[in-house]
């Protein structure tokens, strides 16, 4: 229970790590803009909630880390192995490339699983009618990441990798 004019959290001091549901009264979501004025982002009423992204934020952070590590592995191991195999078609070079490919395909599956879970939690990125605009932008960004990642996985798995699977 919070009293009128109580600040629940300040984003630059800490991240929202809780799902808040408004029982009674109103909550003003705002930020300070460059000139020091308050910009109201939304006013929440009874039954509204915020912090829903916390339900899967750890998954999103691990997805980011996994994608970064994956790209490094491809740049430093996979693509050089493929190029070396193309220059000298030796079986041991193919085996090396295929081993790294198998690892990256497992990473693709993990990343796809995280995004599928985000889609499930958000009910296919369906916005509740009372949702504020920053939530809409977040959902749009997540859908964009999902589309880009699945396109990338498709190109890599179904085109690049297929050429090597002799």
Q: Which residue has better confidence, 53 or 116? A: 116
Confidence of residue 14 (pLDDT cuts 50, 70, 90): very low
Residues 29 and 62 occupy one common structural domain: no
Confidence of residue 13 (pLDDT cuts 50, 70, 90): very low
Residues 43 and 89 occupy one common structural domain: no
Determine the Cα–Cα distance for residues 16 and 102; give it in Å rounded to an integer. 38
Average pLDDT over residues 10-26: 60
Largest CA distance in the chain: 73
Range of the domain at 158: 53-164
Residues 42 and 111 occupy one common structural domain: no
Q: Which tens digits make up the pLDDT trace of 49-76?
A: 666 656 666 777 788 888 888 888 888 9
Confidence of residue 48 (pLDDT cuts 50, 70, 90): low
Residues 57 and 44 occupy one common structural domain: no
Residues 126 and 158 occupy one common structural domain: yes
Whether residue 165 is predicted with pLDDT greater than 70 in this model: the reply is: no
Name the 3-class secondary structure at 13. Answer: coil
Residues 96 and 143 occupy one common structural domain: yes
Query: HEC profile for 21-69?
Result: ECCCCCEEEEEECCCCCEEEEEEECCCCEECHHHHCHHHHHHHHHHHHH
Q: What does pTM read for this prediction?
A: 0.59
Query: What total number of domains does the chain contain?
Result: 2
Question: For position 147, what pLDDT does the model report?
Answer: 92
Residues 45 and 74 occupy one common structural domain: no
Residues 46 and 59 occupy one common structural domain: no
Residues 131 and 84 occupy one common structural domain: yes
Residues 42 and 57 occupy one common structural domain: no
Residues 60 and 105 occupy one common structural domain: yes
């Amino acid at each position: 229970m919070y009293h009128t004019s109580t600040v629940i959290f300040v984003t630059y001091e800490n991240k929202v790590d809780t799902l808040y549901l408004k029982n009674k009264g109103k909550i003003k979501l705002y930020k300070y803009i460059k000139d020091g004025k308050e910009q109201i982002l939304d006013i929440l009423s009874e039954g509204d909630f915020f912090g829903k992204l916390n339900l899967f934020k750890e998954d999103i952070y691990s997805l980011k880390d996994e994608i970064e590590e994956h790209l490094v592995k491809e740049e430093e191991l996979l693509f050089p192995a493929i190029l070396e195999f193309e220059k000298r078609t030796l079986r041991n070079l193919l085996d090396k490339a295929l081993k790294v490919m198998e690892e990256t395909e497992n990473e693709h599956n993990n990343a796809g699983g995280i995004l599928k879970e985000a889609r499930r939690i958000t009910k296919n990125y369906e916005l509740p009618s009372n949702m504020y605009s920053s939530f809409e932008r977040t959902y749009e960004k997540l859908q964009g990441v999902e589309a880009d990642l699945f396109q990338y996985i498709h190109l890599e798995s179904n085109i690049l990798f297929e050429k090597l699977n002799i």
